[in-house]
Amino acid sequence: MDQLSTTSIVSLMEKNDMRDISARFKEERKRLGLSQEDAAKALGVSTGSLGTYERNKVTPPVLVLLPLYKLGADIQYIVTGERSSASLPDTEQQLISAFRLAPEPVQAGIMAMLQVSPATRKESPSSPSQVFHGEVGQVIKGDFKAKNIRFK
């Protein structure tokens, strides 16, 4: 790839990232129940400046993001698109911590109980899968047939 093409691709990616940041910035403001006027006042900026952040004209500076964080916004979400676990209720944080500490078979059981499939599985979340644990670590997993009955 020549230099111009690489520069164009990087520039396009940066524009998409900025657009996403602007949309998430606005989404967080609305989630907090703040009007543009209230948010601008709390952040120490004009409503015009706030509008430029939300319309993808200017990326919100850190000096605006910090007060927004103090109001309860998820800054990690605004910047990366991934929710921060710090913004989750205590019960959900405890659940995530316990899940991460659990052995893989326990995690798989929890996922099956909740009918959630890992991203790598090709089956739809609505089609449950059977997992049988045998002796000495034997695990049989997938679709099974028994006497003309098919389990998924």
Count of residues making up the chain: 152
pLDDT digits (tens, 9 = 90+) for 72-89: 889 999 998 888 876 677
9-13, 17-21, 68-72: which has the minimum mean pLDDT? Answer: 9-13
Amino acid at 106: V
Contact 48, 10 (CB under 8 A): no
Identify the CA nearest to 38 among candidates 27, 25, 47.
47
SS3 58: coil
pLDDT digits (tens, 9 = 90+) for 25-77: 999 999 999 999 999 999 999 999 999 999 989 888 989 999 999 888 899 99
